[in-house]
A and B are shown apart, each in its own frame.
Chain A
Amino acid sequence: MEAYYPEISGLQSGGLQPSSVVQNDLSFLENKAATEIVLGFRIDDLGFLLPVSLHCEVVERLQVSPIPNVEPWFSGLLNIRGNIVPVIDLRILIGKADSIPKKRYLFAVDRGEKTVALWIDGYPQMLTGMGQPLNDLPKLPDRLHGYVTNAYLHEGQLWLKLQLDQLFKTLGRQHVTKEAES
Chain B
Amino acid sequence: MTIQKILICDDSQTDLANLKNALKETQCVLLTASDGDEAIKKAKAEQPDIIFMDIVMPGMDGYAACRTLRDDPSTKNIPVIFVSSKHQKADRVWAQLQGAKDLIAKPYEPAEITAVLSAF
Contact = CB atoms under 8 A, between A and B. Distances in A.
Q: What secondary structure prevails in chain A residues at the interface with B? A: strand
B3 interface: no
Interface string B44-81: 00000000000110001101100110110000000000
Interface string A5-26: 0000000000000000000000
Interface in A111-152: 111, 123-126
B63 to A, nearest CB: 6
B5 to A, nearest CB: 26
B90 A123 contact: yes
Interface stretch (A56-64, A69-77, A166-174): A56-64
B62 to A, nearest CB: 10
Interface string B25-58: 0000000000000000000000000000001100
Contact of A36 (B71, B93, B94): B71
B56 A81 contact: yes
Nearest to A56: B63
A105 B70 contact: no
Nearest to A60: B90
A57 B66 CA distance: 13
Given A36-B71, A37-B71, A81-B56, A58 B94 contact: yes
B57 to A, nearest CB: 10
B68 A53 contact: yes
Contacts of B61: 55, 57, 111
A54 B88 CA distance: 21
B64 A53 contact: yes
Contacts of B56: 81
Contact of A52 (B67, B89, B90): B67
Interface of A: 36-37, 39, 52-61, 81, 105, 111, 123-126
Q: What 8 pairs across the A-B complex have the smallest Cβ distances?
A: A58-B90, A60-B90, A58-B94, A37-B71, A52-B67, A60-B88, A55-B61, A123-B93
